[in-house]
Each structure stands twice: as C-alpha cells, then as structure tokens.
C-alpha cells in the first residue's frame, strides 16, 4: 500500500538540508576559529553595504571537494540577492561550518579550506574542537572526494539506514532495463531523489515502463529503509536513537494532536463492539497487479469494495447523532486514516460507491498530497461516514480501531498474508488472507448487521470484478 502511511510521526522528515551534520553541531560559530597556517577560513562575505548577515542558500561544493581559485563554492543570500561566492585560493573544502539554510554574520567563518588533502583531517579536527557542543557523533567521513555523499546530508542515524539501502538491495529483482545489472535506467526525478537521499539505484526495483526506476520506487525504498532503521538490517552497532525526540522532555500537543486527543476521549461515550472476519484476497491481489499500472492503489480498491458493500447495508453507513435516532447518510463517504508528520488525519473519498476506481485512485493521491502539505479543506476530512484504517503494510495481522465520533463504524485492516487453509473438500492449500476487525456503535448497528455486511464485503473481495465496472 501507499507509502504515505509510513510517514510515522517519530521519523524526522525535515529535509536533509535543514539538518545539522554530525561534527559541526554549532550552527553559528561563536568565536572565530583558530586555525593554523595552511588552513584558511572562508568567511561570510559582505555582499552589499547594508548586509549584516547572510544565509547559506546552498553549498555548491561538498566537503572534500577540490577547489580552484575563482570557482564558486557557496551561494549566499543577502538582504538583496543570491550571490555565488568564489574561492580566493586553490585547495580543498575541508569542513563546512555553517550548513545550508542557516545564517551567519558577515565576517564569521562558514567553512575551512585546506591547502592539501593531508591537511583536511587537521582542518576537521580544528572545526570540531571549536564547535563547543560537538556530540559524540560518528566520525566524519574519510575526506576523500569519493566519500559517500550521504554522510554530508543525513542525520546521524541515517548512514546506517543508507547502508542497508545500498547493500541489502531491497527487491533483489534485477530489472529488465538493466541488462543484467550493468546499467540502471532511472528517470531524472528518481535520480535526483536517489542522489539527495543517498540511495544506490542499482538495488532499486523499477516499476516504470520496461523496468525503469521512477520516483515512487525510490520513495518506497526510502520509506522501507526508515521502517527498518533500528531493525536487523542496520549494520551500525550503536543502538539507534529514537530519532528526533529529546528524551526526558515534555512536548506540548500540536493543534492536530490536541484535536485527536479530544476526539479519543469523546469516543469513550459511545458503546462499541467488534466483529472480525478473514477475507481471501488472491483475486483482489491479482486484480491489483493488473491495474496497478493505471495508477490504481490498494487503498482505493479497498475503499471501493467497502463502499459497494455499504450500498447493500445502509445501516452500517448510518450513525447515531443524539442517542435517540438513526441518521441514514445519503452519501457513502469512505474516510481513510493517514499518518502524517506529527499526527493523523482521515481524508475522505466522497461517493466512493459511485466514482470509478481510476478516478478514485487519482482522487486519493490528490488527497494524500494535500494532507501532507496540510492543505486539506475541512470538507475533505470531516465528512466521512465510514472509516478504514490499514496497518497491513507494517506486517500487522490484526488490530482494533477506535470509532471516530459521529460515525457508525470503522474497519481495521491487517496484512494480506499467505496462509495455509483447509478447504471444504478436505484439502490443504495456500491462500492469501487478510483479517479485518470492524468496530461499530451498538446503538445503531447490531452484531447481525455487521456480520451481514462483512459477508457481502467478503464476496466482493473474493470476486472483485465489480470493482472496475
């Protein structure tokens, strides 16, 4: 299923350029660095008469790169313009002191320039010594020009993740476009992403035309790598820190987290019960494989199947507003829970029973993009009449969901897994099965209602031809 759900809140998602690099934890050098003769400082230049500080837009060169006199090293934003700053000397860019996105006062050191390669290490030592709060971080990379770029761009737990991406070749499949692995065919954006996040494209499975690696393949690898961070694949021996969280601190809820908290407490006022069911998904998986290339997602398929079942069971699509009546909803709006950075939101696929699967998939992509950008309009996340929550992509086989107030039922979807099952004719066979668990408001929805609904849904999923009408 789509990787957006993998954006869990405890994984830092700030762009790498905003993060500090191990070894230069101090964003602004507090004192001018004391450096020995052959190591020169690169200062923040005064680009205009009114400039007092400048922001580093981007480093054109990376640490370890050779510089020639007159070559552009860094782009600095002043109060008036972005300007290239050129090197005065030949040498090597030994250490970057002020990272991209950060500001420094005019005249302060933003990087160190070593005259020879041998002096790079010395320069690094200097820069570390003077960084007052340098943590016990992994040593900076060997400062050769072929040092893995990822060290420059990822936070401390990341190199380990990177290593797993590179060596454990997720999806060992070698794609057809590669001529036996000799060549990697990847789209420009996929390459850009791979470069930015230090993913080795050789190991990436390409889902594009002729096995081409496209952007979403790289994103999938990144998501998987994040998930496995701290797992068996991580090579580094140090226990990975729960990234991005300062232990021992108390952090206030964000607005969204506050809203989630209120809703969760409110949900305790509703008498709920649960009914589970196991679906065989071989046919659904086959259908998914067939139409995946047209942009159809598993989320859209499940939402569509659920909506079609709800058409036959309007009671499961109803809700209890006042404790005295049924509210039968006109529309079947399937909300799907999405974990986003720092919270949870339920974008709604409106009229999921009526909209065709391709449009629904596109709509879903649009909603997820907006959710990530925190641009969902209220009617795009508050109008759900039935909710889906899927943790299958994490390998969860079954779980229990809390009913969002104002709706009648929520379905928790587990992973689709190969399972040994006995068939009615007494044989044993392998089938792919998926467990679901529906939580419902017993004031309006009774056990038999849910059971009948699940039976209908099971039939749709096991014979999914109607999903693509």
Partner 1 sequence: MQASVSSLYTPHPPHTIFRSNSDIQFCGLRREALGFQSISQFRNGESHRIGIVSTKPRSGKLTVFSASAAADNGSRRATSFDYDLVIIGAGVGGHGAALHAVEKGLKTAIIEGDVMGGTCVNRGCVPSKALLAVSGRMRELQDEHHMKALGLQVAAAGYDRQAVADHANNLASKIRGNLTNSLKAIGVDILTGFGTIVGPQKVKYGKVGFSENVVTAKDIIIATGSVPFVPKGIEIDGKTVITSDHALKLEFVPDWIAIVGSGYIGLEFSDVYTALGSEVTFIEAMDQLMPGFDPEIGKLAQRVLINPRKIDYYTGVFATKITPAKDGKPVTIELIDAKTKEAKDTLEVDAALIATGRAPFTKGLGLNNINVETQRGFVPVDDRMRVIDADGNLVPHVYCIGDANGKLMLAHTASAQGISVIEQLTGKDYVLNHLSIPAACFTHPEISMVGLTEPQAREKAEKEGFEISIAKTSFKANTKALAENEGEGLAKLIYRPDTGEILGVHILGMHAADLIHEASNAIALGTRVQDIKFAVHAHPTLSEVLDELYKSAKVNPHVSKSVSEPVSV
Q: Which residues are known to be catalytic?
A: 442
Q: Which residue, 20 or 216, has its beta carbon nearer to partner 1?
A: 216
Interior CA angle at 132 toward 46 and 56, to 5°?
30
Could you tell me if 256 and 435 are in contact, meaning their C-beta atoms sit under 8 angstroms apart? no
Work out whether 49 is an interface residue with partner 1 (CB under 8 A). no
Q: Which of residues 161-200 bind partner 1 (CB under 8 A)?
A: 177, 183, 185, 187-189, 191-192
Residue from the set 22, 155, 208, 347 that interacts with partner 1 by CB under 8 A: 208
In the three-class reduction of DSSP (H, G, I as helix; E, B as strand; rest coil), residue 31 is classed as coil
Exposed, middle or buried, 409 (CB in 10 Å: 0-12/13-18/19+)? buried
Work out whether 375 is an interface residue with partner 1 (CB under 8 A). yes
Q: Which of residues 209-238 bind partner 1 (CB under 8 A)?
A: 209-210, 212, 214-215
Work out whether 371 is an interface residue with partner 1 (CB under 8 A). no
Residue from the set 373, 378, 422, 428 that interacts with partner 1 by CB under 8 A: 373
Residue from the set 12, 43, 55, 134 that interacts with partner 1 by CB under 8 A: 43
Q: Which residue, 261 or 359, has its beta carbon nearer to partner 1?
A: 359
Give, as one character, the DSSP assignment of residue 159: H
What's the CA gap between 138 and 49, in Å, rounded?
41
What's the CA gap between 209 and 206, in Å, rounded?
8
Binding region for partner 1 (CB under 8 A) out of 25-33, 132-140, 204-212, 401-409: 204-212
Q: Taking the CB of residue 129, how many other CB atoms lie within 10 A of it?
A: 11
Interior CA angle at 262 toward 381 and 270, to 5°?
85
Rounded to a whole number of angstroms, the minimum distance from the CB of residue 197 to partner 1 is 15
Q: Taking the CB of residue 427, how many other CB atoms lie within 10 A of it?
A: 8
In the three-class reduction of DSSP (H, G, I as helix; E, B as strand; rest coil), residue 272 is classed as strand
Binding region for partner 1 (CB under 8 A) out of 92-100, 145-153, 207-215, 282-290: 207-215
Binding region for partner 1 (CB under 8 A) out of 67-75, 240-248, 266-274, 441-449: 67-75
Q: Which of residues 112-141 bind partner 1 (CB under 8 A)?
A: none
Rounded to a whole number of angstroms, the minimum distance from the CB of residue 101 to partner 1 is 14
| Residue 378 structure tokens | 């209220």
Query: Residue 90's closest CA among 115, 56, 117?
Result: 115
Exposed, middle or buried, 153 (CB in 10 Å: 0-12/13-18/19+)? buried
| Residue 137 structure tokens | 């971080």
Work out whether 444 is an interface residue with partner 1 (CB under 8 A). no
Q: Which residue, 216 or 331, has its beta carbon nearer to partner 1?
A: 216
Helical ranges in 176-335 per DSSP H? 188-197, 215-228, 255-266, 282-291, 298-312
In the three-class reduction of DSSP (H, G, I as helix; E, B as strand; rest coil), residue 436 is classed as strand
Give, as one character, the DSSP assignment of residue 463: S
In the three-class reduction of DSSP (H, G, I as helix; E, B as strand; rest coil), residue 129 is classed as helix
Work out whether 81 is an interface residue with partner 1 (CB under 8 A). yes
Residue from the set 13, 82, 132, 235 that interacts with partner 1 by CB under 8 A: 82
Work out whether 323 is an interface residue with partner 1 (CB under 8 A). no
What's the CA gap between 291 and 165, in Å, rounded?
28
Give the HSE-up count for residue 114: Cα atoms under 13 Å, Cβ half-sphere.
Answer: 23
Q: Which of residues 387-426 bind partner 1 (CB under 8 A)?
A: none
Residue from the set 70, 107, 242, 429 that interacts with partner 1 by CB under 8 A: 70
Residue from the set 10, 52, 66, 80 that interacts with partner 1 by CB under 8 A: 80
Q: How many residues bind partner 1 (CB under 8 A)?
A: 37
Work out whether 106 is an interface residue with partner 1 (CB under 8 A). no
Q: Which residue, 72 or 254, has its beta carbon nearer to partner 1?
A: 72
Work out whether 304 is an interface residue with partner 1 (CB under 8 A). no
Work out whether 255 is an interface residue with partner 1 (CB under 8 A). no
Could you tell me if 149 and 81 are in contact, meaning their C-beta atoms sit under 8 angstroms apart? no
Radius of gyration (C-alpha) of the chain in whole angstroms: 27
Residue from the set 56, 85, 124, 227 that interacts with partner 1 by CB under 8 A: 85
Q: Which residue, 359 or 455, has its beta carbon nearer to partner 1?
A: 359
Work out whether 14 is an interface residue with partner 1 (CB under 8 A). no
Binding site for partner 1 (CB under 8 A): 42-43, 45, 47, 70, 72-73, 75, 80-88, 177, 183, 185, 187-189, 191-192, 208-210, 212, 214-215, 366, 369-370, 373, 375, 377
């Amino acid at each position: 299923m789509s990787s957006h759900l993998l954006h869990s809140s405890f994984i830092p998602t700030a762009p790498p350029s905003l993060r500090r690099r191990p070894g230069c934890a101090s964003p602004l050098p507090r004192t001018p660095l004391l450096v020995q003769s052959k190591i020169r400082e690169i200062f923040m230049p005064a680009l205009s008469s009114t400039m007092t500080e400048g922001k580093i837009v981007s480093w054109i060169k990376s640490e370890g790169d050779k510089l020639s006199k007159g070559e552009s090293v860094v782009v600095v934003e002043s109060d008036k313009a972005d300007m290239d700053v050129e090197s005065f000397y030949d040498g090597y860019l030994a250490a970057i002191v002020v990272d991209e996105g950060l500001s420094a006062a005019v005249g302060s050191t933003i990087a160190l320039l070593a005259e020879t390669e041998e002096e790079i290490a010395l320069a690094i030592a200097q820069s570390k010594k003077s960084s007052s709060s340098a943590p016990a971080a992994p040593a900076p990379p060997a400062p050769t020009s072929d040092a893995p770029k990822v060290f420059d761009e990822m936070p401390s737990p990341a190199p380990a993740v990177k290593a797993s991406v590179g060596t454990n070749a997720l999806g060992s499949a070698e794609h057809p476009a590669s001529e036996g692995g000799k060549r990697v065919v990847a789209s420009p954006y996929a390459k850009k992403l791979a470069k930015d996040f230090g993913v080795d494209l050789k190991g990436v499975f390409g889902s594009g035309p002729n096995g081409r690696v496209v952007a979403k393949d790289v994103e999938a690898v990144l998501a998987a790598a994040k998930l496995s961070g701290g797992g068996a694949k991580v090579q580094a021996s140090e226990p990975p820190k729960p990234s991005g969280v300062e232990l021992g601190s108390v952090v206030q809820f964000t607005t969204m987290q506050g809203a989630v908290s209120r809703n969760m407490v409110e949900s305790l006022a509703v008498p709920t019960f649960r009914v589970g069911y196991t679906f065989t998904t071989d046919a659904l998986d086959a259908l998914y494989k067939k139409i995946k290339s047209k942009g159809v997602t598993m989320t859209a398929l499940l939402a569509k199947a659920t909506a079609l079942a709800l058409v036959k069971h309007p009671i499961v699509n109803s809700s209890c507003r006042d404790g005295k009546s049924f509210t039968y909803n006109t529309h079947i709006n399937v909300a799907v829970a999405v974990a986003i950075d720092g919270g949870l939101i339920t974008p709604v696929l409106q009229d999921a029973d009526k909209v065709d699967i391709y449009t629904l998939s596109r709509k879903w992509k649009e909603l997820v993009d907006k959710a990530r950008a925190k641009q969902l309009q209220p009617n795009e996340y508050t109008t759900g009449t039935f909710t889906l929550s899927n943790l299958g992509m994490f390998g969860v086989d079954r779980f229990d969901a809390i009913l969002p107030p104002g709706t009648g039922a929520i379905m928790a979807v587990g992973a689709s897994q190969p399972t040994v099952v006995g068939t009615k004719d007494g044989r044993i066979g392998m089938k792919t099965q998926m467990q679901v668990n529906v939580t419902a408001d017993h004031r309006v929805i009774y056990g038999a209602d849910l059971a009948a609904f699940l039976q209908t849904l099971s039939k749709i999923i096991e014979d999914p031809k109607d999903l693509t009408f």
